[in-house]
Amino acid sequence: MASNTTKEVLIDLSPIIKVYKDGTVERLMGTPNVPPSPEDPATGVASKDIVISTEVRARLYLPKLTDPNQKLPVLIYYHGGGFVIESPYCLFFNRLTHILAAEAKALIISVQYRLAPEHLLPIAYEDSWTALQWVASHVIANASIEKDPWVTKHGDFDKLYIGGDSAGANIAHNIVLRAGVEPLPGDVCLAENDAFMPIGILYIETVKKSGSNGVVQPGADPASENHLPFSRLQPTKIMNTVMASNTTKEVLIDLSPIIKVYKDGTVERLMGTPNVPPSPEDPATGVASKDIVISTEVRARLYLPKLTDPNQKLPVLIYYHGGGFVIESPYCLFFNRLTHILAAEAKALIISVQYRLAPEHLLPIAYEDSWTALQWVASHVIANASIEKDPWVTKHGDFGKLYIGGDSAGANIAHNIVLRAGVEPLPGDVKILGLFLSCPYFWGSKPVGSQSKEDMTAPGGIDNPMINPMAKDAPSLSGLACSRLLVCLAEKDAFTPIGFLYAETVKKIGWSGEVQLVVVDGEDHCFHVFDPHTEKAKDLIKQLASFIS
């Protein structure tokens, strides 16, 4: 983070993006994101955000129906932006797809593929192919995907189209080529004064001469504006400029064995477990899980235990995963396994939040994403809330038993979120009942107990109150906005001395709530995450479950 003070530029592709030597990317061009809408006032089109896979998302657009069972053409749409900016959620492309859905009377799936330079090509193509596979899988009765009801009920798969603008058109071409023997219409749309128009016309003429049995329809608007200045971002320039540094891979920041940040702006995560998909019924626990979109930046995985009553109300736990703010997610093997077990043991509905990771998204972004997730959950109590409510949360969430918790960096986040809830009321005046912190990631400039003096940095210094809750300028722990606190520590964990001090400080300041402290002998940091099946791990998980239920 210290390199932000100088912000040395590694790659300058103004006026579109800059890549800095600290690994961050500044997008200079692009329109703001806008939320989906149950009914767009200009077009009458409904839109919603969905999760396709752990890496791929989309915004769906459904025009007004003349029949509740009406079948519609399906368009898989890829947005433009030179592979480096914009998304389905941005003002320009969201507006376009609303209008197109209304005019065409079509169901549109606008795909959010990952952007360069954080995710170098061909990742955008792979994400886009994943989206097409997901859509096509809706025709299979027992497909191993979570089907979307709009696609299932209204999609006419005899009228499946692929399309895109600018870089999205490039993706669409490559996707249809990859589809191979699946005959898809080849509509190519061009902007008349576009720098890419000559190669577009050559493309059309080449398709015609190839003997393709499809219909080719070039389109150009005589009144069109010039294309945005993406000629600077030609595919060869992206591949050569951004990827050239891969040949040397000079390291800017080396935090082995966890991550490395390279001077080309890329980040290599050396540690972490693979992502695993959600399951309608986990064979080990019977817990159902699914992935959801909370906002354009924030996602989550939800866990619902087996119910004894179809209308059963359950405690709600908003859970923040660990990983030092830089690795892991709700979808990774370790935390997905833990939350399945905890949901089953506690008989609780768990929302495991996918906040954005550093160094691509520097702190305090993780805290802001986590706060957004809490606000979204709390908004379910408001009848006319302007969110897309989740049926599991609406039907089964008991908001009289709302808990916040996390492990390691996630425990740090949980602490900060509950403090913030003390000064910023939650939607619907929802109250947090309890907070659990497991092996919390706290540190300070002065070693506590047996802690070593590490050369750590944070914005404003390592005694930033978000990292050191006992710092001189930290808000009082009496402001924790809950009535129950459980702090779980492991004897051999380097973070235990300051975690112990945290629990003792809360007790001494006269906080009105109930404080529980658990220290597990002979164990190290987050031992129950790495192997939840040891006897001590089982005991700790049972204590967490008992606290929640």
Positions annotated as catalytic residues are 408, 493
Helix ranges restricted to H, 442-495: none
Distance CA 45, CA 23 (A): 39
- Token pair for residue 244? 């050239």
Long-range contacts of 126-131 (CB under 8 A, 24+ apart): 127/55, 127/56, 128/78, 128/171, 128/174, 128/175, 129/175, 129/178, 130/52, 130/53, 130/55, 130/56, 131/52, 131/56, 131/58, 131/76
Q: Would the CA dihedral through 437, 442, 446, 450 be positive or negative?
A: positive
For residue 360, give the amino acid letter. E
Nearest to 544 by CA among 460, 496, 487, 504: 487
Evaluate whether 58 touches 64 at the Cβ level (below 8 Å): no
Cα-flanking dihedrals φ and ψ of residue 18, to 5°?
A: -130, 140
For residue 255, give the amino acid letter. L
Distance CA 406, CA 425 (A): 21
Cα–Cα distances in Å, from 467 out to 359, 368, 440? 16, 15, 10
Nearest to 320 by CA among 394, 377, 256: 377
Determine the 3-state secondary structure of 8 from DSSP.
coil
CA 228 to chain centre: 28
- Dihedral (Cα; 375, 376, 377, 381), 10-degree rounding: 90
Evaluate whether 489 touches 411 at the Cβ level (below 8 Å): no
Determine the 3-state secondary structure of 302 from DSSP.
strand
CA 203 to chain centre: 36
How many CB atoms are located within 10 Å of the residue 507 CB? 14
Nearest to 93 by CA among 42, 59, 125, 119: 59
Cα–Cα distances in Å, from 170 out to 21, 78, 81, 234, 273? 29, 9, 11, 11, 33
